């Protein structure tokens, strides 16, 4: 089957485009790097804020996966984030100022969409329901939702499912909430892990490769791979 035919078949099946928010639609780096830089200035640490951000996010991701695997209640995103941030500060030999740490983490509530997001959502919204499915806490998602010019048809926090993506529970919750079968949903993400999780429950996957990274050797392959959301709109709208 040619790629054109495959895309046409995909269009006919899909009813919902579900988006990861952080780093797929919302630009984390432009807000968090300056916030970390300000923290370092305030406490007298000479670390590289961009490098620190990558290490902090990696620790955050690891800890959220652990939280989804162990027995017990779901730990909020903000608490996972605080622990990861403090861990990396301690590892870097930087002073830990609890009030300033909270100030940095508040930056997650002020994230803005990448400049290429609005034109793509406007086009895609004419054909599909647009839904955000995010690891963020409900109040964090409420804070960023107004930043989208094109109104989303829904935003779901994994807190409602009790587990972080790529656990199957959040993806299944989305299908239940919008009364669709998994194959009627394409999950759109800049992250391989997210698409692997979606594909594992029967969804379609769209890899928005913002950072020119390899997808990896997973057998759960994306149905569409593009460089930015406008490329996705070209394929599916």
Rounded to a whole number, what is the distance in angstroms from the first to the last CA of the chain?
Answer: 20
Of 129, 133, 177, which is closest to residue 159 (Cα–Cα)? 133
Q: How confident is the model at residue 6 (pLDDT cuts 50, 70, 90)?
A: low
Mean pLDDT value across residues 184-197: 98
Dihedral over Cα of 234, 120, 29, 206: its sign? negative
Average pLDDT, the chain: 96
Cβ-Cβ contacts under 8 Å for 199 (sequence gap 6 or more): 187, 205, 220, 221, 222
Please write the tens of the pLDDT for every residue from 194-205.
999 999 999 999
pLDDT at 14 over 60: yes
pLDDT at 47 over 50: yes
Distance of alpha carbon 66 from its chain centroid, rounded? 18
Going along the chain from its start, the domains and CATH numbers come out as: 3-27+112-236 (3.40.50.1000), 29-110 (1.10.150.240)
Of 125, 105, 135, 124, which is closest to residue 21 (Cα–Cα)? 135
Of 175, 194, 187, 193, which is closest to residue 224 (Cα–Cα)? 187
7 φ, ψ (degrees, to nearest 5): -65, -40
Contact between 209 and 226 under an 8 Å Cβ cutoff? The reply is yes
How far is 103 from 63, CA to CA, in rounded Å?
A: 21
Cis previous bond, 146, omega within 30: no
How far is 190 from 227, CA to CA, in rounded Å?
A: 9
Please write the tens of the pLDDT for every residue from 202-234.
999 999 999 999 999 999 999 999 999 999 999
Per-residue model confidence (pLDDT) at position 29 = 97
Contact between 171 and 4 under an 8 Å Cβ cutoff? The reply is no
Contact between 24 and 114 under an 8 Å Cβ cutoff? The reply is no
Q: How confident is the model at residue 8 (pLDDT cuts 50, 70, 90)?
A: confident
């Amino acid at each position: 089957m040619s790629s054109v035919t495959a895309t046409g078949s995909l269009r006919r099946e899909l009813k919902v485009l579900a988006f990861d928010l952080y780093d797929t639609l919302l630009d984390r780096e432009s807000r968090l790097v300056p916030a970390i830089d300000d923290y370092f200035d305030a406490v007298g640490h000479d670390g590289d804020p961009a490098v620190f951000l990558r290490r902090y996010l990696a620790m955050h991701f690891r800890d959220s996966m652990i939280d989804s695997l162990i027995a017990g209640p779901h730990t909020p995103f903000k608490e996972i984030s605080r622990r990861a941030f403090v861990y990396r500060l301690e590892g870097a030999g930087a002073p830990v100022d609890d009030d300033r740490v909270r100030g940095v983490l508040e930056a997650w509530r002020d994230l803005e969409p990448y400049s290429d997001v609005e034109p793509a959502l406007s086009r895609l919204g004419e054909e599909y329901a647009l839904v955000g499915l995010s690891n963020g806490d409900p109040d964090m998602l409420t804070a960023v939702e107004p930043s989208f010019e094109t109104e989303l048809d829904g935003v779901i926090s994994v807190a409602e499912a009790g587990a972080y993506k790529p656990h199957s529970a959040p993806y299944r919750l989305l299908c239940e909430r919008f009364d669709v079968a998994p194959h009627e949903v394409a999950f759109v993400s800049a992250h391989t892990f997210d698409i692997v999780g979606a594909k594992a429950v029967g969804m379609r996957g769209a890899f928005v490769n913002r950072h020119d990274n390899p997808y990896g050797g997973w057998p759960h392959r994306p149905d569409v791979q593009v460089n930015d959301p406008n490329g996705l709109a070209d394929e599916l709208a």
